[in-house]
Amino acid sequence: MTLFDSPDFQEHEGVHAFFDEKTGLKSIIAVHSTARGPAAGGCRMWPYVSAETALTDALRLSRAMSYKNAMADIALGGGKAVIIGDARTGKSPALFEAFGRAVDTLGGKYWTAEDVGVSPGDLASARTQTRYVAGLEGHAAASGDPSPVTAEGVFRGVRLCVERALGRDLTGVRVALQGVGHVGAYLAQKLHAAGAKLIITDVNEQALAQVARATGAQVVGTDAIFDVEADVFAPCALGGAISAQTLPRLKVKVIAGGANNQLADATVGQAVFDRGILYAPDYVINGGGIINVAGEIRALAADTAFDPAWVAGKLDRLAQTLGEVLDHSRADGRPSNLVADEMARARIAAARG
């Protein structure tokens, strides 16, 4: 199968493969769209079983970033970088310097940032070779860790969905939270402060214990999270949590969380809708982090300081956009993920002119 035959190749502007013999770098950077501005999206390092699997991930994630950035109403397109390798054993400063040189060859069409398996230290090495890196500290335009901003956007989205589906605030609402990493832990704190009752799971037992101590959450196994009695399921781990196998086990009225690619495939969205579950499309509700990064890129381009008020205003607008998606879904009798996709594509098409 060639690149252009792949079902995941959908009007991508460019797909770039990079190899560096000295460091062993094997990387793919997919640029889906620059219609709204330079493509932006994180760099993921993962031990993919094949180059084809890595390519599929880059294609899917870059398209999702185009949609996310469009729905966040920021002047960025969508792109994504993947590095084939084990983040626990395969990292070196030289590897990320080589990655920085790869990014720089695109001449600003793509800005990179953190994603799974990549740390600020890694990006600092990349930054020595290119200016097109966001999410670092030490300069006036720095936006800081995007995780708290992502969590704030997800929190507002959960609150909105609970109001729509249950007609109440978060006091006493039972939330099954899958994943308490950076975003999940911040979200747990916010939900706890709002009076929600938490059931949590994660593969990281230390993180679980820390969040449980801070919030009084009930801890369950990673598979058991799908069977608990709850009002909200909040996926905040890796993608594909909602599938034909897991969906029938959920007893919730709302699915709203911070993970990317929460639906295992396109058919699951219809099944969620048919079960009467209110679903907040992932790339809409979790757009806070890229808004924060966009604030940094905006400041770097203008050689000004980072503006938190600009980010706050975009977060307010993000919650309004989620509300519009849910309104159209209810009025049209269609799954919210399809409504969001159509809105995102329309915004990108309008930018193309």
Residues 162 and 86 in one domain: no
**Cβ atoms of residues 153 and 315 within 8 Å:** yes
User: What per-residue confidence (pLDDT) applies to 135?
Assistant: 83
- 265 versus 330: which is more confidently predicted? 330
Specify the pLDDT at position 56.
Answer: 92
Same domain, 180 and 101: no
24/113 same-domain check: yes
Q: Would residue 136 count as lying in a domain?
A: no
Structure tokens at 87: 């983040």
Angle between helices 336-352 and 51-71 (to 10 degrees): 80
Is the model's pLDDT at 100 over the cut of 80? yes
How many domains does the chain divide into? Answer: 2
> Given pLDDT bands bounded at 50, 70 and 90, which one contains residue 10?
confident
Closest CA to 72 of 180, 160, 181, 149: 149
- Asked if the structure places residue 328 within a domain, the reply is yes
112 shares a domain with 162: no
Q: CA-CA distance, 255 to 162, in Å (whole number)?
A: 10
In whole angstroms, how far apart are CA 293 and each of 67, 74, 137, 315, 342?
16, 10, 12, 13, 24
The pLDDT tens digits of the residues spanning 275-285 come to: 999 999 999 99
Q: Considering the domain boundaries, does residue 123 fall inside one?
A: yes
Looking at residue 114, its pLDDT comes to 85
pLDDT tens string 283-337: 999 999 999 999 999 998 889 999 999 999 999 999 999 999 999 999 999 999 9
User: Who wins on pLDDT, 353 or 272?
Assistant: 272
State pLDDT tens for residues 252-264.
Answer: 999 999 998 899 9
Examine the domain organization and report whether 118 and 245 are in the same domain.
Answer: no
Q: What is the pLDDT of residue 348?
A: 95
Of 4-8, 95-99, 172-176, minimum mean pLDDT range: 4-8
Average of pLDDT values for 70-87?
Answer: 96
Instruction: Identify whether residues 151 and 37 lie together within a single domain.
Output: no
Residue 44 sits in a domain whose CATH number is: 3.40.50.10860
Is residue 134 in a domain? Answer: no
Q: Which band of pLDDT confidence, cut at 50, 70 and 90, is reported for residue 142? A: confident
Range of the domain at 241: 147-286+320-348
Is pLDDT of 209 > 90?
A: yes
Q: Is the pLDDT of residue 238 over 90?
A: no
Determine the pLDDT at residue 281: 97
Select from 68, 63, 76 the least CA-distant residue to 31.
63
151 and 121, same domain (yes or no):
no
The residue-averaged pLDDT of 130-147 equals 86
123-157 burial, b for 16+ CB within 10 Å, e for fewer? bbbbbebbebbbbbeeeebbbeebbbbbbbbbbbb
Q: Residue 90 in contact with residue 54, Cβ under 8 Å?
A: no
The confidence score (pLDDT) of residue 46 equals: 93
CATH code of residue 216: 3.40.50.720
Does residue 241 sit within a domain?
yes
106 and 232 assigned to the same domain: no
Per-residue pLDDT reduced to its tens digit, 14-45: 999 999 999 999 999 999 999 999 999 999 99
Residues 103 and 197 in one domain: no
Q: What average pLDDT does this structure show over 233-254?
A: 95
Let me know whether 197 and 256 are in one domain: yes
Q: Identify whether 72 is part of a domain.
A: no
Residue 168 burial by Cβ neighbours in a 10 Å radius (0-12, 13-18, 19+): exposed
CA 252/CA 244 separation, integer angstroms: 15
**What's the chain's average pLDDT?**
94
pLDDT at 120 > cutoff 90: no
Catalytic residue among 80, 190, 197, 314: 80
If asked whether residues 102 and 16 sit together in one domain, one would say yes
- Given this model, what pLDDT does residue 141 score? 83
In a domain, 313, yes or no: no
Residue 26 annotated to the active site: no
pTM over 0.85: yes
Residues 254 and 151 in one domain: yes
Tell whether the model's pLDDT for residue 1 goes beyond 80: no
